[in-house]
Structure 1
């Protein structure tokens, strides 16, 4: 199985492992997300996130840049009224919770560092991987926005490139509810764009893109609908996107990224950085 998996990953830039997590494990992750919502802080400690707009408010938000070692809450654009009150229930208006679920939450930590994940990373050739970020993603009907076509290495850059995403759907994904679309083989074309900490310390924008957004022709993409509990392995350079949820049901997912430490340099310009005196959690040693 893993020989075919690695071959497809290296050829297409992504690979699907079906039945990776059981229905019971999927439900445990979904229930834990609901528990996190119950523990959500007040409105002063939340922000909006628009994945369809590369020049969104997150570029200026200290809340976003400080979230790499916290459990932080990001809402869909337009989720609040002028008084800062949510227009609908939080579970229907959240975009994501991130970016340290793998470290700070016992349920997501258990599944991030389970033996199945470690074996998949090992089969892809990782020798000493670490986990720089994790997210619980909500794609709610009628509220979610398109996630623009992008490469994960834009945000998590190493030299040489080593970023791999583990994307775990917690609902069946379909074209209607916002499954992932991939441009097969696009991982062989290098990193097209970088999202970095702003070198201009006088600017209000804490994070900036190093170049304009590339144009990607959507006819080059293939839809990849999968069943809940599957795992999609995503090469850091493969271009992918998802459309808004046009169905009547949610499309939740848990995702995290790993990068290689051995003979690899993690960019000091990346938005997510380990806090002083700490390092990212090792996949194999946890």
Structure 2
């Protein structure tokens, strides 16, 4: 693929491609996400946010399409406090494999060429998420590296983050720490299916400070590509508008994917490439 600034990728750990997708393609995802939420019935384990059942609902979503609610949109007794289209935080994690609209969007020659140019020689699409970042309640995500949750040995995960709406500081755009991807993995999530002690294990102490992160302001239809070791963060969306996006994570099949990883794929839905 031409037009990939590999020097900047090596220096900063992320790249921005304005107008990477068409408005028609973006609208197809927005429309399909609306349809999926419309068909979703938020009852039972999908609403009981503090229950063991909901933890299992989250952990076992790697080969399914599931709906994750904004905590502030759910009352203590598990009822929605607002219409469901305004309560959904994200949909994931196998949209790219199980939904034909997201599958077609996610598997294109352009994306395959880009990922290959960035050094992922045998890509596998591990997960996908549609993120709504709802007005006023869109949950913040703390400083982290994606490789914490998608460990390969050696690290290989990269994120493809598609802006389906304009994103800036007012509606909680991404913030990144340029160049910090050259450092090691700071933490990793481990699953413990026997003891049930799932959680993030600190590997090294970091000196990241929120003030050092820079905003990634993008117009709708842009693509942001991030190295899996790049620290990034997004704040709570306190604005009156959403910040909808779609994110794909790819790993290299040449790398080992440990069994205690956060994300699991059942034997009936093996990972595929582009």
Comparing 272-281 with 238-247, greater Cα deviation is found at 272-281
Q: How many residues align?
A: 273
Q: Contact (CA 8 Å) 1:190, 1:237: kept in 2 or not?
A: yes
Q: Is the 8 A contact 1:165 1:235 kept in 2?
A: yes
Superposed CA offset, 1:39-81 (max 9, x none)? 11341141477xxxxxx87897110111100000100113222
Residues 81 and 170 (structure 1 numbering): CA distance in 2 closer, same or farther, change over 3 Å? Answer: same
1:153-174 per-residue CA deviation (whole Å, 9 max, x = no partner) reads 0000111111000000110001
Relative to structure 1, the CA distance from residue 16 to residue 144 in structure 2 (aligned partners, 3 Å threshold; closer, same or farther) is same
* 2:8 is the alignment partner of 1:8: yes
Q: Tell me the residue number matched to 2:192.
A: 198
Kept after mapping to 1: 8 A contact 2:163/2:219: yes
Structure 1 unpaired stretches of 5+ = 50-55
Where in structure 2 are the equivalents of 1:91-170 lying within 5 Å?
91-170=85-164
Distance 2:269 2:92 in 1: 18
Q: 2:223 aligns with which of 228, 231, 235?
A: 231
Task: Please say if residues 4 and 117 of structure 2, whose CA atoms lie closer than 8 Å, have aligned partners that are also in contact.
Answer: no
> Contact 1:48 / 1:77 at 8 angstroms: preserved in 2?
no
**1:177-232 C-alpha deviation (Å, 9 max, x unpaired):** 01110001110111000011026x234x4x21112885630121111110111110
Q: What residue is the counterpart of 1:271 in the other structure?
A: 262
Report which stretch shifted further, 213-222 or 264-273.
213-222
Taking the aligned partners of 2:199 and 2:192, their CA distance within structure 1 comes to 6
d(CA) in 2 for partners of 1:170 and 1:103? 20
Distance 2:15 2:226 in 1: 7
Superposed CA offset, 1:101-150 (max 9, x none) = 00011111111101221111121122211011100011111111211010
Checking the alignment, whether the CA contact within 8 Å between 1:127 and 1:260 is kept in structure 2 is yes
Task: Tell me the distance in 2 between the aligned counterparts of 1:39 and 1:156.
Answer: 30
Superposed displacement of residue 278, structure 1: 4.6
Matched with 1:53 is: none
Question: Given that residues 154 and 191 in structure 1 are in contact (C-alpha distance below 8 angstroms), is that contact kept between their aligned partners in structure 2?
Answer: yes
Cα shift at 1:244: 1.5
| 1:246 CA drift (Å) | 2.4
Deviations 1:11-43 (A, max 9, x none): 101101110111111111101100000111341
Contact 2:48 2:78 in 1 (8 A): no
Map residues 55-74 of structure 1 onto 2, 5 A cutoff.
Answer: 61-74=55-68
**Residue 27 of structure 2: SS of its match in structure 1?**
helix
Preserved contact between residue 63 and residue 269 of structure 2 (Cα < 8 Å): no
Q: Which moved more, 1:57-66 or 1:12-21?
A: 57-66
Q: After TM superposition, give the deviation of residue 7 of structure 1 in Å.
A: 2.0
- 1:169-180 aligned at under 5 Å gives the runs 169-180=163-174
CA contact (8 A) 2:70 2:88 kept: yes
Change (3 A) 1:58 1:226: farther
- Measured in 2, the distance between the counterparts of 1:20 and 1:92 equals 28
Runs of 5+ in structure 2 lacking a partner?
A: none
Say whether residues 1:37 and 2:29 are aligned partners.
Answer: no
